[in-house]
Amino acid sequence: MKLLIASNNAHKVREIKEILAGHFDEMVTMREAGLDIDVVEDGLTFRENAVKKATEILDKSGFDAALADDTGLCVDALGGAPGVFSARYAGEAHDTAANNALLMENMKDVPDERRACRFVTCIALARRGKPVLAVEGKVEGLLLRAPAGENGFGYDPYFFYPPFAKSFAELTSEEKNSVSHRRAALDALCAALDAEMAAP
């Protein structure tokens, strides 16, 4: 089965290919397939957005299967915000610095003991003639008051991961990938695919 990955993020694509290698004959990105399909992510949950993206891309491509994800940061003290609006928290420009600045402003009076947060990833796999598989992965952390580290992207410098006593931006890519929300979701997807194959 040939899989279309709805991402051109090199790090994300490499991780997907490594973890799902045993389940697909070939995996290509949108760019590699010469496709430019824009899906409006207007769902109220990560699952809705991931499923919509995967199904629309499958419908508009000639592939057997399409994989898409939606990811965001959920902060308890903000009622789960930025959530599905993580990439456009400060506006449609998808400005990382502005997003982080607004998050820090909204959290400036929140005490340390109330700064719990988590990264959430939902991955959806749409396939022709089969139901969509949608799985979720999470990683728990605390929101810092100032950035730490130079690695990662997005909210990573502000996301403190207690088991390693570092922010996500202070971790190596190998360390982050071993515990990340995306890794948890991909592992869950593998388990779901394995269960399908094992079913009589």
126, 51 Cβ separation under 8 angstroms: yes
Give 128's DSSP letter: T
10 Å Cβ neighbour count for 128? Answer: 11
The tokens describing 129, both together, are 């003639």
103, 41 Cβ separation under 8 angstroms: no
Is position 70 annotated as part of the catalytic site?
A: yes
Sign of CA pseudo-dihedral 175, 14, 67, 151: positive
The tokens describing 120, both together, are 């959430």
The residue behind tokens 């939606």 is 70
36, 59, 64, 70: the active-site residue: 70
- Of the candidates 15, 197, 52, the one whose C-alpha atom is nearest the C-alpha of residue 132 is 52
Helices within the chain (DSSP H only)? 10-20, 46-60, 96-107, 173-179, 181-198
Residues assigned a catalytic role: 70
